[in-house]
């Protein structure tokens, strides 16, 4: 098992190798018997490349993508819209490339109409969700923009028709999978609303106010709530203008799943031994020391016992630091620094800079649609999650996939949190990282990936 830095560097190298290649090179490599090189190319793009080479129809390509657990072509992305049209019409790669360049020149100056300032307020977030929803009796129903665009593409009989469609609908295109962004923001609104109402209830009763205020720190509202208000509605209105704390959203997400999210499997093993070497056999000491050395540089000269003792001391120091980092208080500035990568990922998801991959979206939806919500209609269920995944163009939960099977079991057990904690510990004991261990590090822009194929 590789250490965290090794895993990150491998991922970064794969992406760097990938973005240096254009589509022609990818096509060429996909058709060669060099399996090692082909495996470096993300599967989704290999399938699209093979689609051109093997003259697949659009239905055949979409089926192939779905069969392999990859996202189908997405009509609200400008590049992928051109791919949809190209496969509908049986274009060659060169014909598609020319069409895509024309469309890019037409719409190259377009910018996202949402969240263009450095901060995002709760009001802006809620307005984004409302503007992208059909509102019936105050319930938000997702608009079928993607399906509408897909149908219009399919109705384009000539290239001129298609180019006119692209021009007329330029405001509907986005660089990320917009439906995934929409659901992320929608359930974040639900989550903030729940925390707001919990705070107001505690404020009225006089019990638990400090805790509910700490949990409301996903909004930068501590100073505001020290003021006097005449009633609850005035507080609700004031909170709408508070900026969202991207870092504290990630911290709450982090805390929900694992209080020890950054603790790897060997730390849990040592916890089981309570840091006592006398409880371990010689083989166990040798095994554990070897595992620790795989993470640490410069520890090779230490004896097995010294390696374990140093790691135990390091863990104790980290635990003390962690207590302050996970404290739900606005005054704890360490949280922002600790979760800077996570904070950036949340900002990017909301602002539409980075795509929410399927795993990330699922995990955030489980967190924001957690079982403790007062409004049980918003609690995530398998049926609800499957519907969201389909709306986003992702595969429904699959019993044959390890991660999906974990999600299905989580959604069906009586004690979700107990099952979650046990799953983390089991993964650690079997010397594996849990599913979320490197999740946000893998966040990328799918649109940028596609661009690199054709530039």
- Per-residue pLDDT tens digits for 154-210: 999 899 999 998 888 877 777 678 888 999 999 999 999 999 999 999 988 888 887
Q: Is the confidence at residue 8, as pLDDT, over 50?
A: no
pLDDT in tens, 64-78: 888 887 778 888 888
Q: What would the mean pLDDT of 111-124 be, rounded to a whole number?
A: 84
- DSSP 8-state assignment for residue 441: G
Burial of residue 250, with CB atoms counted within 10 A of its CB: 0-12 exposed, 13-18 middle, 19 or more buried: buried
**Structure confidence at residue 27 as a pLDDT band (50, 70, 90):** very low
Among 62, 34, 35, 30, residue whose Cα is nearest residue 46: 30
Is the pLDDT at 414 greater than 80? The verdict is: yes
Which pLDDT score, from 0 to 100, does residue 24 have?
Answer: 41
Backbone angles phi, psi at 148, to 5 degrees: -60, -45
Confidence of residue 268 (pLDDT cuts 50, 70, 90): very low
Contact 418, 424 (CB under 8 A): no
What's the rounded mean pLDDT across residues 41-57?
A: 83
- Enumerate residues 6+ apart whose C-beta is below 8 A from 61: 47, 48, 51, 73, 87
Tokens of 365: 């939806």
Write phi, then psi, for 236 (nearest 5 degrees): -55, -45
* Across 332-354, average pLDDT: 66
The upper half-sphere exposure of residue 5, i.e. CA atoms within 13 Å in the direction of its Cβ, equals 4
CA–CA separation, 260 and 451 (whole Å): 38
Query: 438 near 84, Cβ under 8 Å?
Result: no
Closest CA to 57 of 80, 90, 79: 90
- Of residues 58 and 316, more confidently modeled: 58
pLDDT for 439 equals 53
Does residue 230 have a pLDDT over 60?
yes
Residue predicted with more confidence, 2 or 29: 29
H-state helical runs in 142-298 = 145-155, 159-168, 178-205, 209-215, 232-240, 246-257, 265-272, 282-293
Q: Does the reported pTM lie above 0.75?
A: no
Size (the chain), residues: 455
Q: So what's the pLDDT on residue 265?
A: 44
Instruction: Among 20-34, 210-224, 288-302, 341-355, name the one with the lowest average pLDDT.
Output: 20-34
Indicate if the pLDDT at residue 140 is higher than 60.
no
Q: Which of 63-67, 106-110, 235-239, 248-252 has the highest mean pLDDT?
A: 235-239
Question: Which carries the bigger pLDDT value, residue 325 or residue 342?
Answer: 342
Name the average pLDDT for the chain.
75
Whether 455 has a pLDDT exceeding 60, the answer reads no
Indicate whether 125 pLDDT > 90: yes
- Determine which of 36-45, 322-331, 375-384 has the lowest per-residue pLDDT on average: 322-331
More confident residue, 169 or 34: 169
| Nearest alpha carbon to residue 75 among 148, 159, 167, 171 | 148
> What is the Cα–Cα distance from 359 to 76, expressed in whole angstroms?
21
Is the model's pLDDT at 29 over the cut of 90?
no
pLDDT value of position 408: 94
Which one, of 261, 243, 440, lies nearest residue 357 by Cα?
A: 440
Closest CA to 382 of 425, 350, 353, 412: 412
DSSP 8-state secondary structure symbol assigned to residue 72 = P
User: Tokens representing 25?
Assistant: 């090179």
- Nearest alpha carbon to residue 40 among 52, 51, 29, 54: 29
Give the pLDDT of residue 175. Answer: 66
How far is it, in rounded angstroms, from Cα 303 to Cα 308? 9
| Higher-scoring residue by pLDDT: 33, 396 | 396
> For residue 254, what pLDDT is reported?
76
What pLDDT is stored for residue 335 in this prediction? 36
The mean per-residue pLDDT over the stretch 211-222 comes to: 85
SS3 category, 109: coil
Q: Does the pLDDT value for residue 434 go beyond 50?
A: yes
Which residues, other chains included, contact 234 with Cβ-Cβ below 8 Å and sequence gap of 6+?
none
Which tokens sit at 272?
């089981």
> Residue 100: is its pLDDT beyond 80?
yes
* Predicted confidence (pLDDT) at residue 401 exceeds the cutoff of 80: yes
Q: How far apart are CA 349 and CA 363, in angstroms?
A: 14
Q: Is 234 helix (H, G, I), strand (E, B) or coil?
A: helix
Q: Are the beta carbons of 276 and 308 closer than 8 angstroms?
A: no
Asked if residues 246 and 218 have their Cβ atoms less than 8 Å apart, the reply is: no
- Residue 438's contacts (CB-CB under 8 Å, 6 or more residues apart) are 4, 7, 8, 11
Name the 3-class secondary structure at 73.
Answer: coil
| CB-facing half-sphere around the CA of 138: CA atoms within 13 A | 0
Mean pLDDT of 392-412: 88
Higher pLDDT, 53 or 279: 53
- Report helix, strand and coil shares of the chain as percent, to nearest 5: 65, 5, 35
Confidence of residue 18 (pLDDT cuts 50, 70, 90): very low
Give me the helix-helix angle, 358-368 and 402-412, nearest 10°.
Answer: 10
């Amino acid at each position: 098992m590789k250490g965290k830095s090794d895993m990150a560097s491998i991922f970064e190298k794969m992406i760097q190798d990938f973005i240096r290649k254009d589509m022609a090179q990818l096509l060429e490599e996909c058709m060669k018997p060099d399996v090692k090189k082909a495996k470096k190319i993300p599967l989704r793009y290999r399938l699209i490349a093979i689609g051109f080479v093997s003259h697949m129809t659009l239905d055949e390509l979409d089926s192939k993508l779905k069969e392999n657990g990859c996202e189908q072509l997405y009509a609200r992305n400008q590049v992928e819209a051109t791919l949809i049209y190209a496969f509908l019409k049986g274009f060659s790669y060169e014909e598609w490339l020319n069409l895509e360049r024309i469309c890019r020149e037409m719409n190259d100056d377009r910018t996202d109409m949402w969240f263009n300032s450095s901060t995002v307020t709760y009001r802006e977030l809620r307005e984004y969700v409302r503007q992208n929803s059909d509102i019936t009796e105050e319930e938000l129903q997702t608009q079928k923009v993607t399906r509408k665009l897909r149908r219009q593409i399919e109705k384009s009989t000539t290239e001129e028709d298609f180019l006119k469609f692209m021009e007329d609908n330029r405001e509907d295109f986005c660089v990320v999978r917009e439906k995934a962004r929409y659901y992320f923001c929608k359930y974040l609104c639900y989550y903030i609303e729940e925390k707001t109402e919990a705070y107001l209830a505690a404020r009225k009763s006089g019990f638990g106010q400090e805790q509910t205020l700490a949990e409301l720190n996903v909004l930068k509202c501590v100073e505001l709530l020290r003021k006097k208000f005449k009633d609850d509605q005035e507080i609700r209105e004031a909170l709408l203008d508070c900026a969202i704390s991207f870092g504290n959203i990630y911290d709450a997400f982090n805390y929900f799943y694992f209080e020890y999210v950054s603790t790897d499997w060997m730390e849990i093993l040592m916890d089981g031994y309570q840091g006592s070497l006398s409880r371990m056999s010689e083989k166990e000491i040798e095994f554990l020391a070897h595992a620790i050395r795989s993470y640490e540089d410069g520890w090779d000269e230490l004896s097995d016992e010294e390696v374990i003792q140093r790691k135990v001391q390091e863990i104790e120091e980290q635990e003390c630091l962690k207590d302050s980092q996970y404290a739900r208080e606005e005054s704890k500035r360490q949280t922002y620094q600790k979760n800077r990568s996570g904070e950036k990922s949340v900002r990017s998801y909301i602002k539409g800079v980075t795509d929410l991959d399927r795993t990330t979206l699922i995990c955030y939806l489980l967190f924001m649609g957690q079982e403790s919500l007062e409004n049980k209609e918003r609690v995530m269920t398998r049926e609800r999650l499957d519907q969201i995944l389909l709306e986003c163009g992702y595969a429904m939960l699959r019993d044959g996939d390890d991660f999906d099977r974990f999600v299905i079991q989580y959604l069906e057990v009586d004690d979700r949190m107990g099952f979650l904690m046990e799953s983390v510990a089991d993964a650690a004991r079997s010397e594996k990282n849990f599913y979320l261990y490197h999740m946000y590090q893998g966040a990328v822009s799918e649109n940028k990936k596609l661009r690199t194929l054709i530039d």
